[in-house]
Structure 1
Amino acid sequence: MFDASGQVPGENGGGDADGGATHMGRSWREIDQRMRRLAARRAALDVEEARLLVLAKRAEIHRHLGYGSFGEYIERVLGYAPNTGRDRVRVAEELERLPAIAEAWERGEVSYSVVREITRIATPDNEQTLLEYVDGLTVREVEEAMRGRKKGDDPNERPDPDLEPRIVRMELPPATYALFLDARRHLERETGQMMSDAEFMAVACRAVLGGVPAEGAVPAEGAVPVDGTAPAEGPVPANVPPHQIAIVVCDDCKRGWQDTPGRSVELPPATIERMRCDAVELGPVDGDAGSLLRASRTIPPHI
Structure 2
Amino acid sequence: MFDGADPASLSDEVLEARVLGYAAQITALTAGFLGLVAELDGRESWRGPGIHSLAHWLSWKAGIAPRTAHEQVRVAKAIRELPVIRKAFGEGRLSYSKVRALTRVATPEREAELVNLALSTTASQLDRAVRAMGQIDRNRGVEEENRPPVESTGRWKWNADGSLSVSLRLSPLDGARFLAGSVRAEYERTRTGADPDLPTVESVPRNTEPDSIPENLGVVPSRRRDLWRQVPANVAPAVVVMADMVHDGIAMPDLAPGAEILVHAGSGVEQAHLDDGPALSEVEVAEAGCGASRREVVSRRVPGRPGKLALVGVGRRKRVPNKALVRALLVRDRCCQMPGCGRTRHLHAHHVQFWS
- Band of TM-score, shorter chain: 0.3 to 0.5
Q: Which has the higher contact order (CA 8 A, sep 6+)?
A: 1
Q: Which has the larger radius of gyration?
A: 2
What TM-score, normalized by structure 1, do the two folds share? 0.47
